[in-house]
Amino acid sequence: MMPGTRRPRRLAGLTLLLFAILAGGCGRDEPRQAYEAQFLALGTLVKVSLWGVDEDQGAAAVRAVEAELNRVHETWHAWRPSTLSDLNRRLATGETVTVDEETAAVLAEAQRLSRLSGGLFEPGIGALVRLWGFHSDDRPAGPPPADETTARLLAWRPRIIELEITHATEAEDTVWHLHSTNPALKIDLGGFAKGYAVDRAVERLRALGIGDAIVNAGGDLRAIGRHGERPWRIGIRDPRGEGIIAALETRGDESVFTSGNYERFFEYEGVRYHHILDPRTGHPARGTLSVTVIHADAATADAAATALFVAGPQDWRATARQMGVEQVMLIDSEMRIHVTPAMNRRLVFQSQPIPEVIVSAPD
């Protein structure tokens, strides 16, 4: 046999063996793909991505996330029978209602965020949201309510900060009581419950030992950890259509929430009426197409996105500072993009041509 023919064969064998070791190592410790699942919850498509889990762990974790999201959704549903609709009905009669610790804590957190937003995030305006037809499983259709009707409702000044939350010790247990003296106060956590639900779902994942994951509910998400050796990469929807306006890589643990005028709306006589209402006017907030907030927890990001949408292109910076959010992108109705410096450093714009970007710090 010619020496020249044996050498390459040995090399080839060695190369194959090395490849097998590398491939084996990758398969066990470093999968190349995230475990992914999607399902309908919170009235939207939810996608869960998990890194470093096998099929069984992944399936169990996704079931836990789904159960948690459904639990929060059913508790806080604004128009179907729920803990919240029962609460609203009883509070309106002046009754003092006993609730559990979690219910009281969620409402106290909503109050805190509402106060910080100067009442622009106002979960006390459920009656107004209903008046505009957004409390419905069907697509809202209009027409808009009469100005006198919205004015009469606003005259009651329903504000969540008026809700009295007290606690007492009964038979060695702490119980929480809620009371309202304003019959027009109807709580609607539509601007915040998704964030709260996503926070709880991520807590469940952590309890299962999962540190690398995304829980994405219709484009609003919390990401923890990484996608293996690289960060998670996500897209922010273009408010004009289905595409992505910008992409970003998440860092550690953070939430990215967007409020947009395209989520729920109806058109009436050529005018679009969307579901984010300005509690000062009783009408859909004007001047903004979408607001994206990046913040550690999802509940704050959700409430802040709603509040900054209402604040609008002129006033969003002051509200951002009061609410303690540093990473904001607001797209105004002229498609101008307003960003904080911290947000500007994160975004990689995808649409061509790149739209006009105005960078300014929170006031």
Residues that bind ligand ADP (CB under 6 A): 121-123, 129, 134, 188, 190-191, 194, 259-260, 263-264, 275-277, 279, 302, 305-306, 310
- Contact of residue 339 among Mg ion, ligand ADP, none (CB under 5-8 Å per partner type): none
DSSP single-letter state for residue 264: S
Query: Residue 98 Cβ, how far from ligand ADP at the closest point, in Å?
Result: 25
Residue whose C-beta lies closest to ligand ADP: 190
- Contact of residue 129 among Mg ion, ligand ADP, none (CB under 5-8 Å per partner type): ligand ADP
DSSP states along 212-257: SEEEEETTEEEEES-BTTB--EEEEE-TTSSSEEEEEE--SEEEEE
Query: Residue 20 Cβ, how far from ligand ADP at the closest point, in Å?
Result: 49
- Find tokens 């609008």 and name the residue: 312
Query: Residue 350 Cβ, how far from ligand ADP at the closest point, in Å?
Result: 20
Query: Residue 134 Cβ, how far from ligand ADP at the closest point, in Å?
Result: 5
Query: Residue 314 Cβ, how far from ligand ADP at the closest point, in Å?
Result: 17
Closest by CA to 161, choosing from 145, 181, 146, 142, is: 181
> What residues have CB less than 8 Å from 227, skipping those under 6 apart?
34, 49, 51, 212, 233
- Contact of residue 279 among ligand ADP, Mg ion, none (CB under 5-8 Å per partner type): ligand ADP
Q: Which is nearer to ligand ADP, 276 or 294 (CB)?
A: 276
- Contact of residue 238 among ligand ADP, Mg ion, none (CB under 5-8 Å per partner type): none
Query: Residue 308 Cβ, how far from ligand ADP at the closest point, in Å?
Result: 10
Whether residue 58 contacts residue 66, with contact meaning beta carbons closer than 8 Å, is answered with no
Dihedral, 203, 204, 209, 212 alpha carbons, nearest 10: -60
Q: Which is nearer to ligand ADP, 259 or 340 (CB)?
A: 259
Distance, CA of 138 to CA of 350 (rounded, Å):
33
Closest by CA to 106, choosing from 236, 172, 195, 210, is: 195
- Contact of residue 76 among ligand ADP, Mg ion, none (CB under 5-8 Å per partner type): none
Closest by CA to 123, choosing from 192, 202, 57, is: 192
Q: Which is nearer to Mg ion, 113 or 213 (CB)?
A: 113
Binding residues (CB under 5 A) for Mg ion: these are 191, 259, 302, 305-306
- Contact of residue 58 among ligand ADP, Mg ion, none (CB under 5-8 Å per partner type): none
C-alpha pair distances (Å), 123 with each of 34, 130, 284, 313: 36, 12, 15, 22
